[in-house]
């Protein structure tokens, strides 16, 4: 195996001086035999831990060099190193097996399972899930690839296992719940985490591995899926209904070999070539599709807070000072119940933007106090609004461009989203009801929007009910 390649390295022809006296040759021969025996003991230590093996190997090799060079012919240890043998590279510290695990990302459909809306003819169904498509509940019949359970268990011993699928979460999550009953899979990424390129879904590993692409691999039957990082892709034959398929078992053996290469320390001469190819660390691809998060645009006044120049009838949360017509006035602000939790939960899955018709000198101060954790990534004020018949309208294309499928706006004033009414999520105006639960109810709806390829369809379903 490549990571043990140093064990098969040819023994140097001579480690002593060439002008030794004849009387020392017999002594050298005996010393060399002892050295070979010492080096041979390496093979018996393979059952020991890597750390013990590493230390013993260094001791044996050091002894080997000392025996092969007589004291009479060695003026100094430094001279011996220069003339007798090449200095070994300083070994890198061994990585313990409980250190940060490397990650194997797995595709789902045609890699681990095969799913169809019709009962398969040639094979038995392993389980069934039900999904809702355009208002209709449809059964999906799922066949597991042979060996998938053993495969997942086996690779999870050495790797962190994650799923990266272009399937919708409402389908894929059900399949994974049934497939991974032992909870081997530590992370699940669905279609919303994919990068859409020319109508096809690519899986950008830099979104999950950041700058450490040398520690991840992606197994997928579709090469386009890893087209952004082709060097990290591991191809596999698509699975449909071949119950004699052995691809996963072969792949498990490959990953076992990769792990040993990842963890073993290499002690060898510079000319020794490794038996595996090290994955290059690639730069993050700078594409227009890098940010795959969908966007939630929030109004400010009467949606997240209520502000007034007079002391409110309820306890206010904070105050800001605003200059109005050459006069500095206090503005008392009451936060809507649950607003902090609402922003935090949204920030886990969405890009959060505030689009307000308020003046920047007022709204920026309110947002500084409201968003102390920096969840809100973008702020748009009155100067970004479009004035229509004396009203301020918020054009969502200023935020998301033409991709209106991936954005919603929450506003208590329907005229604010009159340019894109299908993207608007209405909410009751907040003034001083401290028992208000609108935001906590709304966040559950917004989290469910991930099941929709077009978020506007979620709004249609909401309004229809």
Cα(438)–Cα(109) distance, integer angstroms: 38
Q: Which residues of 306-328 are buried (b: 16+ CB within 10 A; e: fewer)?
A: bbeeeeeeeebbeebebeeeeee
Domain ranges of the chain: 2-84, 103-263, 294-464
The pLDDT value recorded for residue 453 is 86
Residue 61 has pLDDT above 60, yes or no: no
Residue 209 has pLDDT above 70, yes or no: yes
The pLDDT value recorded for residue 260 is 60
Q: Is the dihedral of CA 298, 299, 303, 305 positive or negative?
A: positive
| Domain 103-263, CATH | 3.40.50.1000
pLDDT band for position 461 (cuts 50, 70, 90): confident
Residue 244 has pLDDT above 60, yes or no: yes
Max mean pLDDT range (268-277, 430-439, 450-459)? 430-439
- Annotated catalytic residue within 204, 299, 371, 411: 299
The pLDDT value recorded for residue 312 is 85
In this structure, whether the domain defined by 294-464 belongs to CATH 3.40.50.1000 is answered with: yes
Cα(85)–Cα(18) distance, integer angstroms: 13
Give the least confident one: 23-27, 121-125, 234-238, 318-322: 23-27
- The mean pLDDT value for 232-258 works out to 90
The pLDDT value recorded for residue 270 is 36
Max mean pLDDT range (47-51, 95-99, 448-452)? 448-452
Mean pLDDT of the chain: 77
Residue 291 has pLDDT above 70, yes or no: no
The pLDDT value recorded for residue 208 is 81
- How many Cβ atoms are within 10 Å of 190's Cβ, its own excluded? 21
Residue 43 has pLDDT above 80, yes or no: no
376 — phi, psi (to 5°)? -75, 120
pLDDT band for position 449 (cuts 50, 70, 90): confident
- The mean pLDDT value for 306-315 works out to 89
- Annotated catalytic residue within 192, 301, 371, 411: 301
Fold match flag (103-263 vs 294-464): yes
Instruction: Identify which has the larger pLDDT, 408 or 124.
Output: 408
- The mean pLDDT value for 404-410 works out to 94
The pLDDT value recorded for residue 1 is 41
pLDDT band for position 292 (cuts 50, 70, 90): low
- The mean pLDDT value for 231-253 works out to 92
Strand partners, 376: 352
pLDDT band for position 42 (cuts 50, 70, 90): very low
pLDDT in tens, 2-18: 444 333 333 333 333 34
Residue 387 has pLDDT above 80, yes or no: yes
Task: Please indicate whether residue 301 is annotated as part of the active site.
Answer: yes
Complete DSSP assignment for 193-256: GSEEETTEEE--THHHHTT-GGGEEEEES-GGGGTTSGGGEEE----SS-TT--HHHHHHHHHH
- The mean pLDDT value for 255-274 works out to 48
Cα(346)–Cα(194) distance, integer angstroms: 19
Q: What is the pTM of this model?
A: 0.41
The pLDDT value recorded for residue 384 is 94
Cα(69)–Cα(80) distance, integer angstroms: 8
The pLDDT value recorded for residue 38 is 44
User: DSSP character for 265?
Assistant: P
Are 161 and 186 contacting, i.e. CB atoms less than 8 angstroms apart? yes
Cα dihedral value 24, 27, 29, 34, nearest 10: -150
The pLDDT value recorded for residue 10 is 39
Instruction: Identify which has the larger pLDDT, 402 or 332.
Output: 332
Task: Please indicate whether residue 299 is annotated as part of the active site.
Answer: yes
The pLDDT value recorded for residue 199 is 85
pLDDT in tens, 139-198: 889 999 999 999 999 999 989 999 999 999 999 999 999 999 889 999 999 999 999 888
The pLDDT value recorded for residue 325 is 76
- The mean pLDDT value for 373-392 works out to 92
The pLDDT value recorded for residue 289 is 35
Q: Counting beta carbons within 10 angstroms of the beta carbon of residue 414, is it exposed (0 to 12), middle (13 to 18) or buried (19 or more)?
A: exposed
The pLDDT value recorded for residue 133 is 77
The pLDDT value recorded for residue 259 is 67
The pLDDT value recorded for residue 78 is 41
């Amino acid at each position: 195996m490549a990571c043990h390649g140093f064990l098969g390295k040819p023994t140097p022809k001579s480690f002593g001086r060439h002008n030794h006296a004849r009387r020392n040759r017999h002594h050298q021969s005996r010393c060399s035999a002892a050295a070979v025996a010492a080096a041979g003991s390496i093979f018996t230590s393979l059952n020991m831990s890597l750390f013990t093996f590493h230390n013993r190997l260094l001791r044996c090799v050091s002894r080997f060099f000392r025996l092969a060079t007589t004291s009479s012919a060695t003026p100094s240890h430094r001279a011996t190193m220069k003339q007798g043998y090449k200095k070994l590279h300083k070994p890198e510290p061994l990585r313990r097996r409980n250190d940060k695990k490397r990650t194997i990302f797995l595709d789902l459909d045609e890699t681990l399972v095969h799913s169809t809306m019709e009962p398969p003819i040639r094979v038995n169904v392993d389980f069934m899930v039900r999904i809702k498509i355009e208002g209709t509940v449809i059964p999906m019949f799922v066949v597991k690839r042979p060996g998938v359970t053993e495969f997942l268990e086996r690779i999870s011993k050495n790797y962190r296992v994650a799923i990266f699928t272009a399937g919708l979460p409402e389908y894929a999550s059900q399949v994974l719940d049934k497939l991974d009953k032992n909870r081997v899979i530590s992370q699940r990424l669905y279609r919303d985490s994919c990068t859409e390129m020319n109508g096809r879904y690519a899986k950008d590993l830099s979104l999950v591995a950041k700058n450490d692409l040398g520690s991840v691999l992606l197994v997928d039957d579709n090469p386009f899926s890893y087209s952004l990082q082709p060097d990290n892709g591991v191809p596999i034959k698509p699975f449909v209904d071949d119950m004699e398929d052995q691809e996963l078992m072969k792949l498990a053996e490959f990953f076992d070999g990769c792990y040993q290469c990842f963890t073993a320390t290499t002690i060898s001469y510079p000319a020794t070539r490794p038996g595996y190819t090290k994955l290059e660390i690639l730069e993050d691809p700078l594409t227009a599709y890098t940010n795959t998060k969908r966007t939630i645009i929030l109004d400010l006044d009467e949606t997240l807070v209520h502000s007034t120049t007079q002391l409110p009838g309820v306890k206010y949360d904070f105050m800001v000072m605003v200059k109005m017509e050459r006069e500095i006035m206090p503005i008392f602000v009451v936060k809507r119940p649950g607003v902090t939790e609402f922003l935090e939960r949204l920030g886990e899955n969405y890009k959060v933007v505030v689009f307000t018709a308020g003046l920047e000198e007022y709204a920026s101060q309110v947002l500084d106090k409201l968003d102390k954790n920096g969840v809100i990534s973008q702020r748009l004020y009155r100067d970004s609004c479009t004035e229509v018949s004396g009203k301020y309208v918020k054009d969502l294309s200023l935020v998301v461009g033409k991709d209106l499928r991936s954005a919603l706006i929450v506003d208590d004033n329907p005229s604010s989203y009159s340019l894109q009414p299908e993207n608007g999520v209405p909410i009751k105006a907040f003034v001083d009801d401290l028992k208000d639960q609108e935001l906590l109810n709304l966040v559950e709806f917004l989290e469910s929007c991930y099941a929709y390829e077009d978020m506007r369809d979620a709004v249609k379903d909401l309004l229809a009910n």
